[in-house]
Amino acid sequence: MKIDKAEVIVTSPDRNFVTLKLTTDDGLTGLGDATLNGRELSVVAYLTEHIVPLLLGRDAHNIEDTWQFLYRSAYWRRGPVTMAAISAVDVALWDIKAKAAGMPLYQLLGGASRTGLLAYGHASGKSLNEVFDSVNSHLEQGFKAIRVQTGVPGLESIYGIASNKGLPGNEGVRYDHEPAQRGALPAEEDWDTRSYLRHVPTVFEAVRNEFGPELPLLHDGHHRMTPIQAAKLGKSLEPYDLFWLEDCTPAENQEALRLVRQHTTTPLAIGEIFNSIWDYQQIIREQLIDYVRSAVTHTGGITHLKKILEFAAQYQIKSGMHGPTDISPVGMAAAMHLGLAIHNFGIQEYMKHGDKTNAVFEQSYSWNNGMLHPGNKPGLGVELNVDEAGKYPYATAYLPYNRLADGTVHDW
């Protein structure tokens, strides 16, 4: 079964997506998500110029060998662009192999270890009332776990707060938080960690009082605190029993988490911007995190993320796969198949895609009563409608960045 055709498809229904479509000489097709938010075209070039020529004629069944070939023959290893490109090839090959076997991918990955996948949604608001409204609307949608992001007094616009302003042409349409904004330049946002550290615990106290002790609550620190500030926040949130505090401090320096661990028992989740097992080696071995946040799309595909999660399982660390709207339905389906098969599944992030996106990517995964399921169609269960995709050309969009009051650039 030789790879006969490799297409890199770029479309921008509600936001930009990059998809690799492989076709074999006996007509089977496989899809892989290669969307790297705000840097999409770099992966398009990596795939089109450097990888596609290497794939044609290869045996589509040899997934591990193809992974190792793409990783080692590049000489230049790791990094978000390389690993997103390798991921797209890997997932497309797993899609093809499962279709050839006539079974849903999770069956090929060892079968189902559970009946469905607990998922969390994004509630947010500038004010407490807005936060309460958003939590209620997510409970009404069936979510059984909720991430809470709040505005901070004195800061104009910060990460994670949905707004009613909507996208150009979508004014007034409630618009869940899509961080990448279309435009020629990235938006500049302001930040102040001390006012954030004062405010966030008060919001979680109010949410607990309003919604009770059981509801799993999550929060994303989005890489903005120093290790001691992260330790302080983790400690001040302990009374509110968070499911996890995510990306509490930039983790390039993995041992920074030791200081956080010393001071708080709030569970820690990290890894959405990691892209290889090496980014996790120390924090897993030293038990410095509780959840692996990597997405299949950004971490070398199912082949590599499965190895990271198997390593994590030895330390009772669970999965918490990244799943915002910049992970395409192809990437979400791959996460669900892997999540259903592994033992150490923790929780799955789930931001619903827009109607245009759902028309481009025909999905067979389901959302029911707070649980996701990848479906039972052979392969991934997602097909790309090329004509529909063709309606939405790429649109330049950037993630915002932060400056502190004195003008210093800060982690966004």
Contact positions toward ligand CS2, by CB under 6 A? 37, 179, 220, 222, 272, 322, 324, 326, 349, 399
The CB-of-223 to ligand CS2 minimum distance in angstroms stands at 8
Cβ proximity to ligand CS2, 176 vs 388, nearer residue: 176
The CB-of-36 to ligand CS2 minimum distance in angstroms stands at 8
Residue 326: contacted member of ligand CS2, Mg ion, none (CB under 5 to 8 Å, by partner type): ligand CS2
Residue closest to ligand CS2 when measured from CB atoms: 37
Is there a catalytic annotation at residue 353?
A: no
The CB-of-181 to ligand CS2 minimum distance in angstroms stands at 11
Is there a catalytic annotation at residue 159?
A: yes
Cα separation, 60 vs 90, whole angstroms: 10
Under a CB-based contact definition with an 8 Å cutoff, are residues 244 and 320 in contact? yes
Which 20-39 positions form the footprint of Mg ion (CB under 5 A)? none
Cβ proximity to ligand CS2, 301 vs 324, nearer residue: 324
The CB-of-177 to Mg ion minimum distance in angstroms stands at 11
Catalytic residue among 138, 219, 222, 322: 222
Cβ proximity to Mg ion, 273 vs 359, nearer residue: 273
Residue closest to Mg ion when measured from CB atoms: 220
Q: Angle at Cα 306 formed by Cα 102 and Cα 75, nearest 5°? A: 105
User: Does 279 engage in binding with Mg ion (CB under 5 A)?
Assistant: no
Which 168-227 positions form the footprint of Mg ion (CB under 5 A)? 220
Which amino acid, one-letter code, is at 162?
A
Catalytic residue among 159, 280, 291, 350: 159
Which residues are part of the catalytic machinery? 159, 222
Interface residue list for Mg ion (CB under 5 A):
220, 272
